[in-house]
Amino acid sequence: HGTSRINEKGHLEIGGCDTTELAEKYGTPLYVYDEQLIRETCRAYKDAFEKSSLRYQISYASKAFCTMAMCKLVAEEGLSLDVVSAGELHTALKSGFPAERIHFHGNNKTPDEIEYALQAGIGEFVVDNFYELELLGAMAVEAGKTAVILLRVAPGVEVHTHEYISTGQQDSKFGFDIANGQAKQAIQTAVNTKGVRLVGLHSHIGSQIFETEGFATAIARLADLYEWAQQEAGARFTKLNVGGGFGIRYKEGDEPLAPFEYVQAITEAIKAEFALRGLDFPEVMIEPGRSIVGPSGTTLYTIGSSKTIPGIRKYVAVNGGMTDNPRPALYQSEYEAILANRANEKPTEKVSIAGKCCESGDMLIWDIELPEAKPNDVLAVFCTGAYNYSMASNYNRLTRPAVVFVKDGRADLVVQRETLDDLLRNDLLPERMHAVK
């Protein structure tokens, strides 16, 4: 998919670059991003909204993959940006991302983070709870500013996905409950809170969602609340943000919808629910993360040791693992992979791909058919663009991999590989201890 293909040498090529050459030049593990595919996906979302005739804003949820180059690309494509921490906000601002197109999420924004966002003049805060509402209002008054806000509500929608990434159900740490009246109370409070200007509602029902029913149900509940807010609470709403969560294909059998299908279902549901209540159509906001970057990322590893347990299993180890991709360990996520340097060869055996960390749970792929992998072969694991680099760790004191963007035969290093000394950057030795000479 994207610009990936197998070249004359039988090597995997992405963005016109031979992945075995990338592995050679930049080392492994290496995250390779198909820049063209990211841009095309951004445009697919925009085209879908253009057809809806609604006002819209597409925010890329930067938690999926946040680096300066990615923020820059998103800015170039005309999208907005969601951040959930001072770190993401800082990355965006330093890349030159326009502050007014940044939205700030999170269930426990700290006073320091709020201060940073207020001073930067970001577009909107998505307020999650009463504590934040009060804190933000007071801090905005103090700073002589008005914070534009949406309220995040929990619409009580259950979606079929892993429970750790499902967020719209009632028993969730996020947002104001619709079911028990908290959402209405929050609207009334916000309307009367100095320092904030409430302009709409937000909900995010979960991630890696394959159907549109959950969005439709959430939209109906949001429309009820939107109507009530305007008619009973004196609110003046213009925006409705229905979150992200659009699924992608990680493996055979995954059947997500295309960006335009999600957008069409959402815009049609909004038109229908708002027309039904005689409400003006809102500006519609979505915030996809995974679907914008997930499919465009491929991780390259070098094969090392292997272990065969006769009659049971063959383990083949790579020089990375749960440190660069914690998703299999966290969510039992499954991935597809090939040998990038022998991409034309037929699979001859079933193996399991192990990481190099010191724990048994550090497995990247269970039971995959591959040609017999030898040391120094390059393994390419697909669809690792979202929540891999952004969730990477230094466990076992492994250095985090480099990231390259490839396009039209050109590769640009956008994140350098960490060095061993980078690992020590923040370490201090108290004077009473003796430094090793």
Question: Known catalytic residues?
Answer: 358
Site for ligand LLP in 288-347 (CB under 6 A): 288-291, 327, 331
DSSP H or E stretch at residue 36: helix 35-50
Binding span for ligand LLP by CB under 6 A among 34-42, 69-77, 251-259, 284-292? 284-292
Q: Which is nearer to ligand LLP, 2 or 288 (CB)?
A: 288
Q: ∠ at Cα 389 (387, 393), nearest 5°?
A: 105
SS3 81: strand
Q: Using the rule CB under 6 A, which residue among 11, 101, 105, 356 binds ligand LLP?
A: 105
Residues 6 or more apart in contact with residue 253 via CB below 8 angstroms: none
Question: Could you tell me the smallest distance in angstroms from the CB atom of residue 39 to ligand LLP?
Answer: 17
387 has binding-site annotation: yes
Query: What type of residue is 18?
Result: D
Site for ligand LLP in 373-402 (CB under 6 A): 386-387
DSSP H or E stretch at residue 134: helix 130-143
Question: Could you tell me the smallest distance in angstroms from the CB atom of residue 252 to ligand LLP?
Answer: 19
127 token code pair = 């307020």
Alpha carbon 138 to its chain centroid, in Å, reads 31
CA pair distance 42, 268, nearest whole angstrom = 20
8-state DSSP, 275: H
327 has binding-site annotation: yes
Contact between 200 and ligand LLP by CB under 6 A: the answer reads no
Binding span for ligand LLP by CB under 6 A among 178-186, 212-220, 238-246, 268-276? 238-246
SS3 188: helix
Residues 6 or more apart in contact with residue 139 via CB below 8 angstroms: 111, 114, 115, 118, 195
Site for ligand LLP in 153-192 (CB under 6 A): 165
Question: Could you tell me the smallest distance in angstroms from the CB atom of residue 320 to ligand LLP?
Answer: 16
Question: Could you tell me the smallest distance in angstroms from the CB atom of residue 206 to ligand LLP?
Answer: 8
359 has binding-site annotation: yes
Residues that bind ligand LLP (CB under 6 A): 61, 64, 82, 105, 165, 204, 207-208, 243-246, 287-291, 327, 331, 386-387
